[in-house]
Structure 1
Amino acid sequence: MKKVLLSLAAITTLTTTTFANDINKDMFDQIQILKAKIDALEKQMQKQNETPKLDEKRIAKIEKKLKTNSKKIQKVKAHDADDNIKWNVDFRTQLDKLNYKLANGKRLKNEALMSNRLNLGMKFKADENSLFYGMLSYNKLYGENSSSTNNNANFDWITNESATNDNELKVKEAYWLYSNDSFLGNDDVSWTASVGRRPSTDGLGINYRVDQKRKSALAHTVNVEFDGASARFNIDKLTGMTGSWAKMCMGRGLTNAKLRFSTDGAPAYTKDSSSENIDMAGLIYVPYDDGQYSIHTNYARAWNLIGMKNGGSSFEDFGKIDLATLMFKTDGIGDGINDILDYTTFFASFAMSKTHPKEGMSMLGSSDSKTGHSIWLGINAPCPLSPDDAKIGVEWNKGSKYWRSMTYGEDTMAGSKIAARGTAWEVYRHQQLTKALSLTMRYTNIKYDYTGSNGFFGELGAPKEVIGDNVKEAQNITANIRYRF
């Protein structure tokens, strides 16, 4: 029994010792694992503590690079400060089909009149208040004109390949514009002033048909290039009328001066006794413009207008003319009716002209003062077939017997439709093909009630019965592709 008890005690002791050894081993292993985890955690914490130091170094390096690049950029700006003119290009290739019906029944036509027109626009801002605008223009029929080959052929096949004595470069626009938010200390009136070769063609009204932003003048009475000055004043805060402004304009269409080395030996640039300076002054006034509905008015007077007497061979001074326009325009019809009407523009314009003949002279065939008038309606809307990238338009205008506009610069091959003493209408479609390319197709029809619509103020401008070889009706079909950027 004692042996058994001793044996059990020995076994228990041995077992307990073995169990204790096993426990010690497990604890040792767990401690080693825990220690390894603690070491890893300490390393991770140490790494995290070192990270800001690494970021600071990287940030310092980046800042150094930025500082270096900034210095380089400043040098580039300083180098280009006097050479940062922004250019834009408007290049048009056009095909016109012209048909004229004469009063005697004869017809004259040109089935395919082709032309290129290039306008290079430029803009430079020297400071916060002053800008320069310019435009160089090239507008030419394809090839050489046949009328110049009758006596002395001068084909333009080598225009840019052979040296010549031609120094001609056409400048369509060149003027500076000064702007200020305060006029003589009055913060309620912002204003601009400008002098130079004016942006006086393709003004409000005709700009929709030619597919571009409006220029300065109202095209119902004035659409000619001239040199002059203008000053605009935004007076909406003074009048309380939304968007109201006024612009005073003046210009010179002809300078009365003999050129240097004149054939009669007169001193250079002295007054020429055969003519006077042709000047024009006017006022454009917009009493209201809220962005959708607007009213536009203008008044202008031109002096010493020229023309020819019967059998005359030189221009003479015939007198003065007054011109006035009243236009209503809406950009968007209604409010949210549909997408088409939201982007439709409609305008209605009424214009008048009044002659003041010089003593002993006749203007428009009469020695008495004559008043003429014209009505012009137009609508420009998204094309229902392609509303996002195409526009369609319809215009109609009618001029009376003694109507006279100054629209010699209207962009059309058949003559100014606005000047018509009769009825004119046209339809057109503008299609945007790519970001830069666009296509325009247009049909214009003019029926003349009287002659002289596109003449000057002498005999050629007199309104007479349309008989014989006078043009009774003109038709112009136009298609062009334009590249603009």
Structure 2
Amino acid sequence: MKKQLILSVAAAAMLSIGLQADETTDRMEAMEAQIEALQEQLSAMKDAKSDEEAATENDEEGSEEEGDETDERLTDLEEQISTINRNTSGSHLKFGVDFRTAVDNLNYKMAGNAYNPDTMAFDGDDTQSNDAFLTNRLWLNMEWLATENMSFTAQLAYNKAYGYRSGFNGGYPGFETFDWITNENAYDDVVRVRSAYFFYRNDTFLGAEIPWTFSIGRRPSTNGHLINLRDDDRPASPMGHNINVEFDGMSSKFSFEDLTGIDGMYIKFCAGRGGTNANAKFFTINMDSNNTLGIAAPYAKNDADLPDIDLGGLIFVPYDDGQYSLGAQYYYAAHLIDASVTPTPSGYVFHNMQDVGNMHAVTANFMINGIGNGWSDFLDDTIFFASGAVSITDPKKGAADQGMLGSKESKTGSSYWVGLQVPTLFTDMGRIGFEYNHGDKYWRSITYAEDTNIGSKVAARGSAYEAYYTDYLIEDVFSFQIRYTYIDYDYTGSNGFFGSTTGTPYKIDDLAATNPGLASATVDKAQDIRFYLRYRY
């Protein structure tokens, strides 16, 4: 018995040495082997204890002393195994890496000619481009399953242009570090929090057989349903047709599949805050008043500032059997914003952001993951989807308010989106996809974080075409993609905010004649050819 205990301690020591191995795979294999050895010794000790109890059945005093000593050894060994398990399995913080390096060829045709200072007229080149925009994107993933019901998940990220950017000649970034998109634009090499949240799950709710979850924190609200297909990612909760931004808030999901017998039925409630009204903790500097200092109670509401930007909504999936699925989403966003600017002969002067009103949004989609039932391997691995969405503005209507999307009356916009993804016939894991979407004059989505460098394609007031090919050089680890995105805008403001300053839809074909200054700064057609290499482990 003592020899077995000594072997157990030796095994634990060997495990400690094994943890210093250079390769993660070797370390994990060593851990698993040592756990198995300890479990075998534990089983042997329990068998030996049973034999000793039978042999000393008539010697109560000896049996008691021997049993106490064996129990202590068993307890000690079980604690060792439990400690190792905690540090190598679900209750230990796990890390993962997702690194992508990409090159984008960007081309734009402007709605009008550029201003030529030599001729003092708009007769300059009407195209802009970047032949090779190089970026690195890093995601550091963390997970910690503390108990069977409670876990923690987080993702740190940076998205950086090669060598950063100069910042000279008007290149200073404006809204690129805005909270909704701070990790989605090629900016600097500062690592920021992309998501971080607690996640609770249970199989019953108030005694009913309704599995449910609750989560709160920095939401995983980008790369949602449908847009994730071309991004080669697992879908986040939101439907990517009308919302794709980073967000702080909570969600709670209730599954009714067991209760109703309908495959995949669930409803999910979501709420969050996209902007907080609060004074600075110490003091503020008013740039419009000769840099004067302002002092107020720390974090108290500021009546002169923007109100809180809040969002609430729900996702309803009435059916999802893995092959056929239906989904719908509704949200209401309050106190949306736009810029307050003053026109000048040389451009515009930016003052601040203004609360312009609220917005309702609805989307519904249908997906087929595998066409037919065993018709062919090709169709079995083919995905088709169709999605429709509507946005309805609710503008502030005071005399000093600018309205929303160029109007002080409510405006309804709509968009539709279809896509097809098929397996390649020349590789085992390759996927080829084709997508098309179209938005009308007053369509407005909140999809600024979409992973498209020329601007969100599903936000387009016009037509967007996309084709891509994704494949793996090392299964589940190292992949590449080449993607072509083309956007033909019909109206301005596709990637603007929600008011009338940046969101008003002007007919692009008319701009060159009616407003050459605005035409020279408006993209008519945009093209992005991207190639990336991506490592995930």
Count of residues in correspondence between the two structures? 412
Distance 2:432 2:104 in 1: 19
Which consecutive unaligned segments of at least 5 residues does structure 1 have? 1-58, 153-165
Correspondences of 1:257-336 after superposition (within 5 Å) = 257-263=278-284, 264-273=294-303, 274-311=305-342, 313-336=351-374
Correspondences of 1:236-251 after superposition (within 5 Å) = 236-251=257-272
Shift of 1:309: 3.7
Summarize the Cα distance change of 1:427–1:71 in structure 2 as closer, same or farther, 3 Å threshold. Answer: same
Shift of 1:80: 6.9
Distance 1:98 1:60 in 2: 64
Summarize the Cα distance change of 1:176–1:60 in structure 2 as closer, same or farther, 3 Å threshold. Answer: closer
Per-residue Cα deviation, 1:417-466 (whole angstroms, up to 9, x for no partner): 01000000100000100131100000000000000000112211111122
Summarize the Cα distance change of 1:257–1:62 in structure 2 as closer, same or farther, 3 Å threshold. Answer: closer
Distance 1:272 1:73 in 2: 56
Whether contact under 8 Å (2:160, 2:189) holds in the other structure is no
1:406 aligns with 2:414: no
Task: Give the structure 1 partner of residue 37 of structure 2.
Answer: none
Task: Give the structure 2 partner of residue 196 of structure 1.
Answer: 217
Distance 1:177 1:72 in 2: 29
Distance 1:77 1:333 in 2: 43
Shift of 1:291: 1.2
Where 2:394 maps in the other structure, the secondary structure is strand
Task: Give the structure 1 partner of residue 158 of structure 2.
Answer: 138
Q: Structure 2 length as normaliser, TM-score?
A: 0.73
Distance 2:422 2:386 in 1: 15
Shift of 1:385: 1.9
Distance 1:89 1:406 in 2: 28
Shift of 1:151: 11
Distance 1:239 1:392 in 2: 37
Structure 1 stretch displaced more, 108-117 or 263-272 = 263-272
Shift of 1:308: 2.1
From 194, 205, 229, the counterpart of 1:172? 194
Task: Give the structure 1 partner of residue 502 of structure 2.
Answer: 460
Per-residue Cα deviation, 1:214-260 (whole angstroms, up to 9, x for no partner): 01100001100000000000012344432110000001000011121
Whether contact under 8 Å (2:460, 2:489) holds in the other structure is yes
Q: Structure 1 length as normaliser, TM-score?
A: 0.81
Whether contact under 8 Å (1:284, 1:297) holds in the other structure is yes
Shift of 1:212: 1.0
- One-letter amino acid of the counterpart of residue 265, structure 2: S
From 184, 187, 205, the counterpart of 1:183? 205
Per-residue Cα deviation, 1:130-173 (whole angstroms, up to 9, x for no partner): 11110000111111212158899xxxxxxxxxxxxx99640001
Per-residue Cα deviation, 1:118-137 (whole angstroms, up to 9, x for no partner): 00111111111111110000
Summarize the Cα distance change of 1:148–1:60 in structure 2 as closer, same or farther, 3 Å threshold. Answer: closer
Summarize the Cα distance change of 1:75–1:318 in structure 2 as closer, same or farther, 3 Å threshold. Answer: closer
Structure number with greater Rg is 1
Whether contact under 8 Å (2:218, 2:249) holds in the other structure is yes
Correspondences of 1:72-83 after superposition (within 5 Å) = 72-77=80-85
Per-residue Cα deviation, 1:351-407 (whole angstroms, up to 9, x for no partner): 000000012231000011000000000111111222x21000000000000000000
Summarize the Cα distance change of 1:78–1:307 in structure 2 as closer, same or farther, 3 Å threshold. Answer: closer
Q: CA RMSD in A?
A: 2.4
Whether contact under 8 Å (1:308, 1:457) holds in the other structure is no
Distance 2:171 2:239 in 1: 42
Task: Give the structure 1 partner of residue 127 of structure 2.
Answer: 107
Shift of 1:71: 5.9
Distance 1:428 1:150 in 2: 33
Task: Give the structure 2 partner of residue 33 of structure 1.
Answer: none
Shift of 1:111: 0.4
Whether contact under 8 Å (2:86, 2:92) holds in the other structure is no
Percentage of pairs with the same residue: 45
Distance 1:427 1:81 in 2: 40
Distance 2:314 2:432 in 1: 32
1:472 aligns with 2:453: no
Summarize the Cα distance change of 1:71–1:254 in structure 2 as closer, same or farther, 3 Å threshold. Answer: closer
